[in-house]
Amino acid sequence: MNMLVCPIDYRYGRKEMKQVFSNEARIQKMLEVEAALARAHARLGHIPKEAADEISRKASLEYVKPERVDEIEKEIRHDVMALVKAYSEACDGDAGKYIHLGATSNDIIDTATALQLKDALDIIEQDLIALGNTMSGLAKKHRDTVMLGRTHGQMATPVTFGLKIAVYLDEIRRHLERLREARPRICAGKMMGAVGTGAGFGEDALEIRKLVGEELGIDMAIATGQLVGRDRYIEFVSLASNIATSLEKFATEIRNLQRPDIDEVAEAFDAEKQVGSSTMAHKRNPITSENICGLARVLRGFLTPQMESAVLWHERDLANSSAERFTLPHTAVLLDDILLKMEDVFRNLAVKPDNMMRNLERSRGLIMAEAVMLALTTKGMGRQDAHELIRQLSMKAEERKAHLKDMLMESEEIRALLSPEEIERIMDYRNYTGKAGEIVDMVVREWEANR
């Protein structure tokens, strides 16, 4: 019986990101680092080129079996030395004796982690682009779809659904910018030995570090103890937490707008087969958006242990190791998962312009109080006087359950300054969305230029 415990193993995440952080991928990356180190030694004349070639040929799970690495680790209780021994066994001749020359465990572990994070960020970048493209299309489609703006959970003034999505799209653009800027800091390896001096590599230590970085296509940290500075991993988890928080914000808005008393958007629902509730057969729940919110909260929970993993004794201790086996892969897998789900929600979102207009009308024109107040100021009334007059008329409309327009038409002070035609124009919701359409256009152009 397969005793799976973690939901990531059987419920959340997709295989592409899970593969990046699988045990097999971790071993493969470590083999690649060891091989790059051997080639650097060979280029500098420290070891025979033939030995480096053999080490490079055998830098594969085809030759270095994870089962053999595990078997050795159970005996010696050291994961990197287990890998080195299994790797040495796989090499023909005496090439194996040159593996890991001058290195310490975290030269290999941290540099391999940098390669894994590089692969993870490649996937996350593509996820962000896909989500942004979907949101861009939605913003353009609903550029001028008028809906009720809400502040404090109350009716505010008109907005457009396109602007709402454009605000979110611009946030995704900033996340994409942050990811690209942070990539070289996050994906940095190290090759400076036991305490960061490079003594084990001799006079060519700095050149070895440079060559290994070039071989692997990543930056190498300039100054370290035995470990790469964990501020880099904190930045990764912080970036992921920031993105996850945006996704939770978007999903929360979808959940609210899907409420039956609002009913302006809805997640896709398979009416033929999908079940909303085990007892309430009528239910159509925003389950994907709810799932995004829940997983975003779990993801952010990894930020604290990752921060605490930066606080180590002297040049290193092992308190970070066990925590990071959770924080880094779980963060990446969960972020990829909810990015895909958010894109799916927006791509299949049912937008209901008729219900948006219905909710605007439910305000009985009160949401246009600001528009009327400002129109009065253009006619010479002081701003404070106009505010008080419209406040009184709004309260009267609320008390009578009447439309604000009717109160305006009844008011002698209003009719002295505004004609019925002007009142009709001012009270049209579509005439009070400001520069919303232009802002949508600007955000979309910025996205398309920088995605």
Evaluated on CA atoms 264, 270, 273, 276, the torsion sign reads: negative
Angstrom distance (rounded) from CA 275 to CA 283 = 8
Phi-psi group of 268: left, alpha or beta (phi > 0 → left; psi -120 to 50 → alpha; rest → beta): beta
Write a three-state SS string for the chain: CCCCCCHHHHCCCCHHHHHHCCHHHHHHHHHHHHHHHHHHHHHCCCCCHHHHHHHHHCCCCCCCCHHHHHHHHHHHCCHHHHHHHHHHHHCCCCHHHHCCCCCCHHHHHHHHHHHHHHHHHHHHHHHHHHHHHHHHHHHHHCCCCEEEEEECCEEEEEEEHHHHHHHHHHHHHHHHHHHHHHHHHHCEECCCCCCCCCHHHHHHHHHHHHHHHHHHCCEECCCCCCCCCCHHHHHHHHHHHHHHHHHHHHHHHHHHHCCCCCCCEECCCCCCCCCCCCCCCCCCCCHHHHHHHHHHHHHHCCHHHHHHCCCCCCCCCCHHHHHHHHHHHHHHHHHHHHHHHHHHHHHCCEECHHHHHHHHHHCCCHHHHHHHHHHHHHCCCCHHHHHHHHHHHHHHHHHHCCCHHHHHHHCHHHHCCCCHHHHHHHCCHHHCCCCHHHHHHHHHHHHHHHC
- Report whether 172 contacts 443 (CB < 8 A): no
Catalytic residue among 41, 277, 314, 394: 277
Q: Which residue has the tokens 């949101």?
A: 135
Distance of CA 301 to the CA centre of its chain: 14
CA distance 349 to 170: 19
Is 152 assigned a catalytic role? yes
Q: Is 100 a catalytic residue?
A: no
Q: Which of 152, 282, 314, 419 is catalytic?
A: 152
Length of the chain: 451
| Positions marked catalytic | 152, 277
